[in-house]
Structure 1
Amino acid sequence: MPEVLFVCVHNAGRSQMAAALLRHHALGRVAVRSAGSAPAASVNPAAAEALAEWGLDITDGVPMKLSTEDVEAADVVITMGCGDTCPVFPGKRYLDWELADPAGRSVEDVRPIRDEIDRRVRGLLAELLDG
């Protein structure tokens, strides 16, 4: 089973949404983790509200600190604005998804970010399952 790790600075918005969407679409066919280089205290409320509109609940998510073990376990590491704070290991597939940070934004402003993450997650899932 392929394993995907989503990484952003605070692990409160983009990476939480991406992980929830991949879990939802993958139906148990992909292992999913998310983490941050400087985790926040809680999940971004606007990100949680945007996903709740689609029936997905991330309110009980806990931002996690990125560890070397997380990266080592992943087949695909997707960074979302963490820059050079993400450890790099040879043989891993790295993708960098440049996405606006939902921090401090309203749910109206987070919806397009959610929609773009969903589009990319669906594309990634198709690649992982077809490969």
Structure 2
Amino acid sequence: MNDRPSRPSVLFVCVHNAGRSQMAAAFLEHLVGGRVDVRSAGSAPAATVNPAVVDAMREIGIDISAGTPKILTAQAVQASDVVITMGCGDACPVFPGKRYLDWQLDDPAGQGIDAVRTIRDAIEALVRALISEIAPG
């Protein structure tokens, strides 16, 4: 019998799962060392992760080049304790008992590296604040 409490689970959702949600998931995985189950998805996933996002994350030592956008499913939402949306609007299913946060962040699609860095740094700050709530220590 496992007496260890289950790990919190977080789902990051944006429209294309190619930028904001990929960065947020990568930061959470990088910073918590397996203390949290991390997922990301998009309501209309792109074919690939945004190359400017990959470059911006690589600059700070996090490689997301192997990431692939995934479709948002009701099962992913149901399996998550915290669902963080970033501009997906009404496309995100809502289930009772889940904690929902909406992070107002610019979409990095079509933006230059300087704008993507600003978004990346805002996401890192939000993720660090989230960690202090759900997985301190």
Q: Say whether the fold is shared (TM-score over 0.5).
A: yes
Q: Counterpart of 1:103?
A: 109
Displacement of 1:73 in angstroms is: 0.2
Deviations 1:14-46 (A, max 9, x none): 000000000000111000000000000000011
Q: Counterpart of 2:129?
A: 123
Q: Counterpart of 1:55?
A: 61
Q: Does 1:11 align with 2:35?
A: no
Q: 3-state DSSP class of the match of 2:77? A: helix
Q: Counterpart of 1:84?
A: 90
Give the whole-Å Cα distance in 2 for the aligned partners of 1:28 and 1:74.
15
Deviations 1:56-85 (A, max 9, x none): 111110000000100000000000000000
Uncovered stretches (5+) of structure 2, i.e. residues with no partner: 1-6
Deviations 1:89-115 (A, max 9, x none): 000000000000000011111001000
Kindly tell me the number of residue pairs found equivalent between the two proteins.
Answer: 131
Q: 3-state DSSP class of the match of 2:28? A: helix
Give the whole-Å Cα distance in 2 for the aligned partners of 1:107 and 1:89.
36
Equivalent pairs: percent with the same residue? 65
Q: Counterpart of 2:3?
A: none
Displacement of 1:7 in angstroms is: 0.1
Displacement of 1:129 in angstroms is: 1.8
Give the whole-Å Cα distance in 2 for the aligned partners of 1:129 and 1:65.
26
Give the whole-Å Cα distance in 2 for the aligned partners of 1:46 and 1:93.
30
Uncovered stretches (5+) of structure 1, i.e. residues with no partner: none
Displacement of 1:119 in angstroms is: 0.1
The amino acid that maps onto 2:102 is D
Give the whole-Å Cα distance in 1 for the aligned partners of 2:28 and 2:36.
8
User: Of the two, which has the highest radius of gyration?
Assistant: 2
